[in-house]
Amino acid sequence: MFNQKFTYLNLPENFYQRVKADYCPSPKLIKLNNELLEQKFDIKLNHFNEKELANIFTGQTLLNHSIPIAQAYAGHQFGHFNPSLGDGRALLLGEITSDSNLKNEEEKLYDVVLKGSGRTPFSRSGDGKSPLGPAIREYIVSEAMYYFGVPTTRALAICSTGEKVYREDPLDGAIFTRLASSHIRVGTFEYFASRHEFNSVEKLVKYSLERHFKNHKLIDQNIYLTFINEVAKVQSNLISNWMSFGFIHGVMNTDNMSISGETIDFGPCAFMDTFSNDQVYSFIDKQGRYAYGNQIKIAIWNLYRLAECLIPLVDSNTSTAVSLVESLLKKIEPMYHQKWLNRMLSKLGIEYSNLNKEILEQDEKLINDWLSFLEKEKLDFTISFRTLLERKEKFHNSEVFQEIYKSISKRHLLNKKNKDLDKILQETYKVNPIYIPRNHQVEKAIEEAYQNNFVHFEKLLEVSKKPFINQGENFSMFENPPLQNEIVKNTFCGT
């Protein structure tokens, strides 16, 4: 099943440390994503019983001679550089290949990783374990991301370990298994660059291009400029997606930014209820560095940190290299903003066009006016976008709103293909979900999971599979924002 390939082991040994999962006294399978295994990999696990599966997904049993490793990386954490982080509570079991015959897609490699399986050489003072709650959160949110159409790591399994994990209080321990296109981060490059091991940086760039960007087009015959550009493109797509769904990652440290452009490391993440540009959920983000409205700026900041790692490789002359990189980055920066504007306009049923600068400026003002209105009136982000065009009477009958609605209507008339309101509505319904994993619903699933009750967890997963389609009265509770006593102000990563 696993380890059909293990290309990361072909890299030098300073890229990782070999390590085994900790012993689990009584592992138990809580959830297995059979649908993912069958649809993407044509893998069926019917020949394993639940005890065997629990042993596999806690690292107690290794398949196909798997050699688990913890990957090395560094990272800027809240703006401060830490030269040695690495997988402190994660193990890369191996890589599996998607079945290209299932969806007529190109064959693709995926990492299989355990989270919470115990200490590694990179754990520092941590125990490498995970409580059940963070595993539940990541399973729900990563799967919801997938069904929104946002690039993301996928949830494969959750197992309880049969032991307590000690945080403020003793909590049930769990191990989460995820799939990812890779676990190469901006911080992976920083790890080697900070040690002046540019031979390793070079190997990592070539490996990354081969694994993630096979169809790249060379920029100035320079693979390092090309690599920066490719990472920028997938990252700009990712962040614009986050913004369009009101998602706040919470900890956009460079060690949490995948170069593949997937959402990774779901810690203190959350989807907004009431809109606010300054919204933060991470308990430790006191200054709001990773607030909703800062995410594009931080993504670009992280891209600059990646580019710095490649300077000595871009050109042997440092001044020339810096000039080339700066020139490229200046061209790249507007792309993040354009992607954001494109997605936000689509939520209003407006086609993005950069052919007319005056219209583009008006469109940007329109989006900002609408968001300012939501913030001032303390309105729900998801519901407001979903119902804006279908029930305008739902909103305050203010002059500000009337002007905004009038401007939106005028722009619809300029969209030659979308003059009919019903057609516009159908288009907006494809990008404006009814259901998101609201914080209070996720917290309810977590609380019940600690009582060995997974009914709410399963319902959240079910409703997340069709987020844009009304699923009836049985799921109406998942549409609604929290009551005052249900509001979740902080979320936690669980390390």
Structure tokens at 373: 């209105």
Nearest to 392 by CA among 311, 384, 400: 384
Which amino acid is present at 274?
Answer: T
377-405 residues labelled b (16+ CB within 10 A) or e (exposed) = eebbbbbbbbbbbeeeeebeeeeebeebe
Count the neighbouring beta carbons within 10 Å of the beta carbon of residue 296.
19
CA distances from 460 to 136, 175, 446 (A): 11, 20, 11
Q: CB of 383 within 8 A of CB of 411?
A: no
How far apart, in whole angstroms, are the C-alpha atoms of residue 260 and residue 145?
16
List the one residue out of 473, 445, 484, 495 whose CA is nearest residue 143.
Answer: 445
Report how far residue 63's alpha carbon sits from residue 49's, in angstroms, rounded to the nearest whole number: 15
Place of tokens 């291009």: 209
Q: Which of 111, 255, 285, 363 is catalytic?
A: 255
CA dist 408 and 414 (Å) reads 10
Paired strand residues for 282:
491
Q: Is the dihedral of CA 130, 253, 380, 376 positive or negative?
A: positive
Burial 443-480, CB ≥16 within 10 A → b, else e: bbbbeebeeeebebbebbbebbeebbeebeeebeebbe
Q: Give the separation between CA 263 and CA 50, rounded to whole angstroms.
A: 30
Q: Which residues pair with 77 in a beta bridge?
A: 80
| Contacting residues for 485 by C-beta, under 8 A, at least 6 apart | none
**Cβ contacts of 288 within 8 Å, gap of 6 or more:** 278, 280, 294
Count of alpha carbons within 13 angstroms of residue 251, beta-carbon side: 20
Contact 305, 254 (CB under 8 A): yes
Alpha-carbon distances, residue 144 vs 260, 265, 320 (angstroms):
19, 14, 45
DSSP string, 402-429: HHHHHHHHHHHHH-TT--SHHHHHHHHH
Answer for the pair 225, 46: CB distance below 8 angstroms, yes or no.
Answer: no
Q: Is position 285 annotated as part of the catalytic site?
A: no
C-beta separation of 26 from 162 below 8 A: yes
Active site residues: 255
